[in-house]
Amino acid sequence: MLGDLGTTSLTAGLVSAVLAALLWLRVALLGAAARPARLASAATLLAAAAACALLEAALLGHDFSVRFVAENGGRHVPVYYTITSLWSAMDGSLLLWLLILCGYGALLARRRTPDRLRAYAMVVVSVATTLFFALSAFAADPFQAVHPVPLDGPGPNPLLQQHPAMGVHPPLLYAGYLGMVVPFALALAAPLAGPAGRDWVRAARPWALIAWATLTAGIAVGAWWSYAVLGWGGYWAWDPVENASLLPWLTATAFLHTSMGGGRSRDRWNTVLACAGFLLVLLGTFLTRSGAVASVHAFTESPLGPLLLGFVLLAVLAATVLTGRNRPAPGPGRAPLLSRRTAVLVNAVLLVTVAAAVLIGTVLPLLTEPLTGTRASVGPGYYERTAVPLAVVLLLLAGVTPALWVRDRAAALRRLALPGLAALATVAAVGLLSRPGPAALTAFGAAAFVLTGLLAEVAARRRRPGRAWAAILAHAGLALVAVGVAGSSAYGQADERTVRVGETLRVADVSVRLVSVHRGIDEGRMVVRATTQLSGTGTTRTATPTLRYDPARDTAVTVPAISSGPHRDAYLTLIAVAADGSSATLRLAVNPLVGLIWAGGALITVGGLAALAVSARSGRPRRPDPVDRRVPAGVAA
């Protein structure tokens, strides 16, 4: 019953998405009334919401006649993880994907009298919606009936039932990915829309900010999640799936910089970056969902691979054909070396270079097999030599920002004197006191350069809030992330040993004494728990790292015990236990400064939202089209 309704809602969504594309084309070409088109877009959103709600109802009601529930539901799964299991496997997560995509479409279509730019953009969004609805309805219908109906299901992958971030990370990430569709659609629409298309960058910027801020938050939550759940204690492993989320973030970051102030001076860059964001999202979806790249995250071979590759090629073709003819107006002449225009250009070049290096490392394993006959993988060392040094250069560039807020060249250079001194002092002090290695040392220096400059700026601007605040917050967050990454990788210490009950494992000034080992059964899962006394600087607490084995999925999960302090975490993992419970293999890691990574991620997100608030306040078009007059100020963004 639920299954039939679900399949019907997918079909309805597909039909209304096709209808929406045609009706919006009519609005754009003939200037027809927008009301039918808006209704069609609203119907598409309604269909996606209905599909999501029906699958949630089936999951919560344990309706195992629905294929997705039979594969991913389970009576033993807590309610929270039953709700989140909607996006714990591909077919269900595609519904969430559709819901968010349709949500963006409905938001873009919300004006009563859209201009031609938005009408053409809605055609692009509707076509993308159609393609994904078709994918869901024909190749990945989660509502298919199952015969015979099983009595219970295995539940979602046990790893996805370990941490509350499961309810936050995927939706945030999807909101980030799919937000890229609007700047992409506006960039494609601009050459078609005539005079209305001239101001497309101003229209695209708020959307890019929403997408970028949610993507940043999604990546940060994902890093925190993998740190808190996966026993190896890392937050980033340069895995293809992680790279797929980083790539659009990099190009979107570049776009946020080139699109400042209406983006007139970097027209070509804006078009390329806005397109690249969504194209990389599609490419990443293809890479991670087709089983094409050997990643432990990757999915089983699925029929979606060729279809998704088709989408990528179609989008590339559309972007090239539509924007390739676009001749940008000649720029306003040569820019001085120390100017915002030059800095934005250098920033864009660096970010695109990082993205290119990461992209090459991610897709190279795909190419080595047909070329050399052997499968290969690209190790983290590759990224540490390419992306990391460039990221440090980018951080230094962010430190130059305060100098770009004044017109006078001498005053600008004076502004960099204090941060420069602070950076050199930091490098000298840190280098003398410890030996963190050249990369970390440079990162510390660059972070000091950025933070000192920003602090001076904050001190000068206390009473004059303005648009610079967004940049101050985001750049400060970036510097904190850099300190956290450099500190935890340079000063992190770990040891792994088998200890008997009563023995102690020591790393730096943290020691762990094994008190006892328990084995038990909990909700159908075998659970091994080590009770330990964790002693840090002056404090002692009980820590219980755990190993869980789920027979339904034949999967073992390590749940580390993390004791977070102000400047470092003690991270304890249970690796194995002896059969008689007399000893356990423990891994104790001391990770300094990791907390700064999460704090920095939050700060960058807040910076993005602050920029959004600023652009919503000042985002009214300078030369509003006559049809736009009726739109109240403030909504115009």
Partner 1 sequence: MIRRPGRLALIAVLTAAGGLLVTSALNDTLTYYRTPDEVAADPTLARDRVRLSGKVVPGSLRRDGEVAVFQLADGGHEVTVRQRGMPPDTFREGEEAVVEGRLGTDGVFHADHVVLRHGNEYGPSSPAAPEPTDAR
> Which residues from 318-377 bind partner 1, rule CB under 8 A?
330-335, 349, 353, 356-357, 360-361, 364, 368, 374-377
Q: What is the enclosing helix (H) or strand (E) of 304? A: helix 304-324
Binding of residue 575 to partner 1 (CB under 8 A) = yes
Q: What is the enclosing helix (H) or strand (E) of 35? A: helix 35-60
Q: Total residues at the site for partner 1 (CB under 8 A)? A: 81
Candidate list 76, 111, 198, 497; residue touching partner 1; CB under 8 A = 497
C-alpha neighbours within 13 Å on the C-beta side of residue 263:
27
Point out which span in 15-23, 99-107, 226-234, 250-258 binds partner 1 (CB under 8 A).
226-234
x/- letters, 92..121, toward partner 1 (CB under 8 A): -x----------------------------
Residue closest to 118 by CA, chosen among 217, 241, 126, 633: 126
CB 189 within 8 A of CB 200: yes
Tell me the closest approach of the beta carbon of residue 285 to partner 1, in angstroms: 7
Tell me the closest approach of the beta carbon of residue 57 to partner 1, in angstroms: 20
Tell me the closest approach of the beta carbon of residue 586 to partner 1, in angstroms: 11
Candidate list 297, 409, 435, 541; residue touching partner 1; CB under 8 A = 297
List 530's β-bridge partners, or say none: 517
Point out which span in 27-35, 85-93, 205-213, 315-323 binds partner 1 (CB under 8 A).
85-93
Q: Which of residues 452-491 bind partner 1 (CB under 8 A)?
A: none
x/- letters, 583..622, toward partner 1 (CB under 8 A): --x-x-----------------------------------
x/- letters, 167..196, toward partner 1 (CB under 8 A): --xx--x-----------------------
CB 377 within 8 A of CB 369: no
Q: What is the enclosing helix (H) or strand (E) of 420? A: helix 409-433
Binding of residue 244 to partner 1 (CB under 8 A) = yes
Binding of residue 254 to partner 1 (CB under 8 A) = no
Candidate list 289, 415, 475, 568; residue touching partner 1; CB under 8 A = 289
At residue 163, the 3 state secondary structure works out as coil
Binding of residue 504 to partner 1 (CB under 8 A) = no
Candidate list 44, 216, 285, 401; residue touching partner 1; CB under 8 A = 285
d(CA 283, CA 293): 12
Residue closest to 41 by CA, chosen among 111, 138, 136, 117: 111
CB 482 within 8 A of CB 447: yes
Binding of residue 214 to partner 1 (CB under 8 A) = no
Tell me the closest approach of the beta carbon of residue 181 to partner 1, in angstroms: 16
Tell me the closest approach of the beta carbon of residue 597 to partner 1, in angstroms: 14
Q: What are phi and psi of 150, to 5 degrees?
A: -70, 160
Candidate list 8, 168, 549, 564; residue touching partner 1; CB under 8 A = 549
Q: Residue 329 has which token pair?
A: 């107006």
Binding of residue 405 to partner 1 (CB under 8 A) = no
At residue 526, the 3 state secondary structure works out as strand
Binding of residue 60 to partner 1 (CB under 8 A) = no
List 481's β-bridge partners, or say none: none
CB 560 within 8 A of CB 570: no
Binding of residue 230 to partner 1 (CB under 8 A) = yes
List Cα–Cα distances, 255 to 108, 120, 148, 251, in angstroms.
19, 21, 52, 6
State the chain's maximal CA–CA distance in angstroms: 81
Binding of residue 139 to partner 1 (CB under 8 A) = no
